[in-house]
Amino acid sequence: MELKEEVKITTVENKKGGTRSLDTLYRTLSRNHYSLLRMVDNKSAIILTVNSILVTMLFGATHLATGVEKENIGVFISSIIYFCLISMLFALVGMLPHKYYGKKYRQSGYNGSLYAGNFASMSLFEFKTEFTRITENGKTVYDEITTDLYFLGRAIKHKQTMIKGAVFTLILGLVWSVIYTVFKT
């Protein structure tokens, strides 16, 4: 008799501990995802700042150069400026507020009710109805959070790809300009 009670208590404790650990897992994952989003936005801002400083300095150098010097550095400066502008476009796209998109999102049937960017277009009644559906039971809540984390991860990956493109474009522009200048002179 005592053994059965002990087993029941242990099982109940495991379930409680499991729920608590699951809550901690979701909380940690959410915090990590939003930290990654902030980091991507900060990196985009840094890339935009670096590129805008470079473009400003290069335009200044162009205006300060004399006629002969302008011809010599014209291709060098213009190619760096073009690459900087392309890099800035990548960084700007990486900074855009994330949206859930793509074939997987459309096929999933998930409407992103937990993300403000998605439920802001709903009426108050629609939002309350959807939120009531989600919170009816624990499994639905966890399913929604899991799906939301998945699509948030995909959005982060897209933003990171844009940042990599911005950095790669800037580096490519600098390397191209240096190589062109070395072989031209």
pLDDT along the chain (185 residues), means of 10: 43 55 88 91 95 92 76 82 95 84 67 72 85 83 85 89 96 90 78
pLDDT of residue 102: 63
- CA-CA distances (angstroms) from residue 22 to 14, 15, 25, 111, 142? 12, 10, 5, 23, 9
CB atoms within 10 A of CB 106: 10
Report residue 98: phi and psi, to 5°.
-75, 145
pTM to 2 decimal places: 0.75
In this predicted structure, what is the pLDDT of residue 101? Answer: 63
Report the pLDDT value the prediction gives residue 5, as an integer from 0 to 100: 47
> Residue 147 belongs to what H/E stretch?
helix 138-184
In angstroms, rounded to a whole number, what is the distance separating the alpha carbons of residues 102 and 95? 18
DSSP 98: P
| Residue 185 confidence (pLDDT) | 67
Predicted confidence at residue 124, as pLDDT, reads 87
